[in-house]
């Protein structure tokens, strides 16, 4: 399948940002990685900020789709939890770039209203997916939102630990504790 120029630029930006960080990568580097002129980035995304926002949206959509596909045919909350944790571990080990882009973007969100709004949207979408999956497994409906936030925090925190200490197998094994919410 041939990629459109916009897809080439998004792919290149994802690779460059994951490798070097948003603040360290230039539009020229991204253009070179994509095999396009710098002016094409401006044409498709307006500026570097617009490009990162598109990269964030694409990365979030990719992960949301993976989550939906992973549990599409499962009814049991415990089995959903097991598959989602397995998926998270797999993505974390095989695509650390996804988490590097997310964390870089979250860091930018601390200082930029534009990025803060986008990251709030991305995080709300992930939390909502968790809510949708755990609401049948939690006895008190009032506990669903706080538990989803706790689970999301555990997942993000674990991913940071893994990125910093990828050789420690206990980090990913700790995610299995989330299963206690479904027991």
Sign of the alpha-carbon torsion through 92, 96, 102, 108 = positive
CA angle 156/24/29 to nearest 5° reads 115
Q: Is the pTM above the cut of 0.75?
A: yes
Contact in structure between 106 and 21 (CB atoms under 8 Å): no
Dihedral sign (CA 91, 97, 98, 104): positive
Closest to 88 measured CA to CA, from 182, 2, 172, 149? 172
**Calpha distance 131→152 (Å, rounded):** 10
**Could you tell me the residue ranges of all domains in the chain?**
1-46, 57-181
For 58-83, the pLDDT digits (tens) are 988 888 888 888 888 887 777 877 88
CATH class given for the domain over 1-46:
mainly alpha
Q: What is the pLDDT along the chain (183 residues), one digit of tens a residue?
A: 568 999 999 999 999 999 999 999 999 999 999 999 999 999 999 999 999 999 999 988 888 888 888 888 887 777 877 888 888 888 888 888 988 998 899 999 999 999 999 999 999 988 888 888 777 777 788 888 888 888 888 888 999 999 999 899 888 888 887 766 555
Using DSSP's 3-state secondary structure scheme, residue 120 falls into helix
Contact 154, 163 (CB under 8 A): no
SS3 182: coil
Please give the CATH topology (third level) of the domain spanning 57-181.
Tetracycline Repressor; domain 2 (1.10.357)
């Amino acid at each position: 399948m041939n990629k459109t120029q916009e897809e080439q630029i998004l792919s290149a930006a994802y690779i460059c940002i994951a490798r070097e960080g948003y603040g360290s990568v230039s539009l020229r580097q991204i253009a070179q990685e994509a095999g396009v002129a710098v002016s094409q980035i401006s044409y498709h995304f307006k500026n570097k900020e617009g490009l990162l926002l598109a990269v964030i949206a694409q990365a979030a959509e990719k992960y949301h789709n993976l989550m939906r596909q992973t549990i599409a045919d499962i009814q049991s909350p415990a089995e959903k939890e097991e598959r989602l944790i397995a998926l998270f571990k797999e993505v974390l080990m095989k695509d650390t770039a996804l988490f590097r882009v997310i964390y870089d973007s979250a860091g930018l969100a601390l200082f930029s209203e534009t990025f803060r709004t986008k990251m709030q949207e991305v995080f709300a979408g992930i939390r909502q997916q968790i809510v949708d999956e755990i609401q049948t497994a939690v006895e008190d409906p009032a506990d669903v939102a706080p538990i989803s936030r706790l689970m999301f925090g555990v997942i993000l925190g674990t991913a940071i630990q893994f990125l910093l200490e990828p050789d420690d197998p206990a980090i990913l094994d700790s995610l299995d504790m989330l299963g206690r919410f479904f027991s």
